[in-house]
Structure 1
Amino acid sequence: IMIFVEAIQRFGHPPEVQGPLMMAIAVGGLLVNMASLAILHRGREENLNIRGAWLHVVMDALGSVGAIVAGALISFFGWYLADPIASTLIVLLVIYSAWHLLSEAVSVLMESAPRGIDVDRVREAMLDVPEVTGVHDLHVWTITSGFDSLSAHVVIEDGAQHAEVLARLRDRLHERFGIDHITIQLEPEDFEEKTTCQ
């Protein structure tokens, strides 16, 4: 926010900036950011925290690129408005990127169904497993980025082999939806769940 406020103020009175010094510092920052990006790149898909750090470094790198371009425009053309324009563009990029990260974090905290997983399709896939006659209390949520979880009560035919049904359900959920953390309560068809304690 402070960068944006200062950039707006500089539009009216752009200060004289030493373009070559600005470029030199920005190049140094860009090199450090590139090294950091290489380190963080692998873990950014699986972990929301690493993705946040990666995004921060990307924004720093873009800031360095903006400073290099602004420094070149100041050095070669004396165009001092390049500094507040670059700052404003960087702030807008940060806001855009942070919004997506924030929405994903809120989704995890609210235990929302993962993007791309339709709970009704999950229920149908579970009901297609032999000896499964019902599915209720089905919940699918994201624990952290790339780690989805499922819990459900599954009604099975009398005489069904519990271990076999569980294995089929586990395999089906993994293959079709990529869900590996699964908690299932198997129930016989005549099971009446008590909602109050005695």
Structure 2
Amino acid sequence: MTEDSQRRVFWVMVFTGTYMIIQATGGYLSGSLALIADAGHMLSDTVALCFAWIAFRLSRRPADAQRTFGYHRFQVLAALLNGLTLFLIAIWVVYQAVMRFWDPVEVMAGPMLIVAVVGLLVNVGGFLVLRGGDRRNVNMRGALLHVLGDLLGSVAAIVAALVIMATGWMPIDPILSVFVSVLILKSAWSLMSSSANILMEGVPEGFEGPALTAELTSIAGVSDVHHVHVWGLTGEKLMASLHIKLDHGAEASVVKTAVRARLAERFGIGHVTIEVDDAADMAAEALTAETH
């Protein structure tokens, strides 16, 4: 799946970079902030998609003595960087829009409309290509959000051009730029939060601890589950460690195999460390709890 996502990101990066040059030129010639803002988004997206592509390539490197889990976290770092660039560019666009309210600029609606329509087609194509990738992967989500931001920017530019052609009302250009920027800020914050949660080894999004405990205690031979820790190497590569107490007469190897199979099947957790507590362990743990 990583190879497929890598290929999708590469081609969208090429298309985005090519159109970014066309859009920046059109925005400059027409005087449209909406187009210039969208070209700025596409510039950041081209760089962000490049980072995402590099991260996918690096994540495929095998584990070594220094990084025993491999290089998968490069994808998460790229996603965090993508979210940050989205955030900063959206703030810049809002600032430029406020400046335009004080110092209005004449916008050539015709060229603006043509460039925006072409941009919409490019962005829709890129969005559809990335949408077919693994959206549990935060790196892919970051790339998808960048292209979605560009798509919204193109829609805003089209609407602004049509309003200006019909009414001559120039403030619509910065107003729609601010509206799109607010939407992008929300998405950027969500992406940064998800990436930070993974890097901090927080509980994966949508994961419910009680559901996991109930599922495992229903396995034959398991009498108790505790000290459960679940985290993600990436958004889709989940890991867990836990302690189990066996029913009398249960065989540890059989129960552990069943626990691993259930975690993989029901929760998508592929790497599990299981500690089996015997009576002596439980007694020592209870004594430690009492002394504290």
TM-score by length of 1: 0.86
Deviates more, 1:12-21 or 1:139-148: 139-148
Residue 44 and residue 29 in structure 1: after superposition, are their counterparts in 2 closer, same or farther (change >3 A)? Answer: farther
Task: Find the aligned partners of 1:121 and 1:83 in 2 and give their Cα distance.
Answer: 50
Q: What does residue 242 of structure 2 align with? A: 152
Q: What does residue 23 of structure 1 align with? A: 113
**Contact 1:136/1:154, CA 8 A, preserved across alignment:** yes
Alignment of 1:179 with 2:272, yes or no, is no
**Structure 1, residues 17-44: CA drift from partner, whole Å, max 9, x if none?**
1001111111122122122112211224
* Matched pairs, number: 195
Instruction: Report how far residue 61 of structure 1 moved.
Output: 0.8
Residue 157 and residue 190 in structure 1: after superposition, are their counterparts in 2 closer, same or farther (change >3 A)? Answer: farther
Task: Find the aligned partners of 1:56 and 1:117 in 2 and give their Cα distance.
Answer: 26
Instruction: Report how far residue 141 of structure 1 moved.
Output: 1.4
Instruction: Report how far residue 6 of structure 1 moved.
Output: 1.0
Instruction: Report how far residue 180 of structure 1 moved.
Output: 3.0
SS of match in other structure, 2:122: helix
Alignment of 1:47 with 2:47, yes or no, is no
Alignment of 1:143 with 2:224, yes or no, is no
Of the three residues 212, 220, 244, the one matched with 1:130 is 220
Instruction: Report how far residue 150 of structure 1 moved.
Output: 1.1
Q: What does residue 167 of structure 1 align with? A: 257
Instruction: Report how far residue 58 of structure 1 moved.
Output: 0.4
Q: What does residue 74 of structure 1 align with? A: 164
Gaps of at least 5 residues in structure 1 are none
Deviates more, 1:184-193 or 1:74-83: 184-193
Q: What does residue 41 of structure 2 align with? A: none
Q: Which amino acid aligns with 1:105?
A: S
Q: Considering fraction of residues, name the structure with more strand.
A: 1
Q: Which amino acid aligns with 2:130?
A: L
Q: Considering fraction of residues, name the structure with more helix.
A: 2
**Structure 1, residues 38-96: CA drift from partner, whole Å, max 9, x if none?**
22112241210111011000000100110011011112211101111111111111101
Deviating beyond 4 angstroms after TM superposition, the runs of 4 or more aligned structure 1 residues are 191-195
Q: Which amino acid aligns with 2:101?
A: F
Task: Find the aligned partners of 2:176 and 2:98 in 1 and give their Cα distance.
Answer: 11
Q: What does residue 13 of structure 1 align with? A: 103
Task: Find the aligned partners of 1:178 and 1:50 in 2 and give their Cα distance.
Answer: 19
Deviates more, 1:92-101 or 1:151-160: 151-160
Alignment of 1:190 with 2:280, yes or no, is yes
Deviates more, 1:79-88 or 1:160-169: 160-169
Structure whose CA Rg is larger? 1
Instruction: Report how far residue 159 of structure 1 moved.
Output: 4.9
Instruction: Report how far residue 146 of structure 1 moved.
Output: 2.8
Of the three residues 86, 99, 112, the one matched with 2:189 is 99
Task: Find the aligned partners of 1:145 and 1:131 in 2 and give their Cα distance.
Answer: 31
What's the Cα RMSD here?
2.3
Gaps of at least 5 residues in structure 2 are 1-90
**Structure 1, residues 161-187: CA drift from partner, whole Å, max 9, x if none?**
233212221233234433333221334
Instruction: Report how far residue 158 of structure 1 moved.
Output: 6.0
**Contact 2:241/2:273, CA 8 A, preserved across alignment:** yes
TM-score by length of 2: 0.61
Of the three residues 200, 207, 227, the one matched with 1:110 is 200
Task: Find the aligned partners of 1:124 and 1:28 in 2 and give their Cα distance.
Answer: 53
Q: Which amino acid aligns with 1:144?
A: T
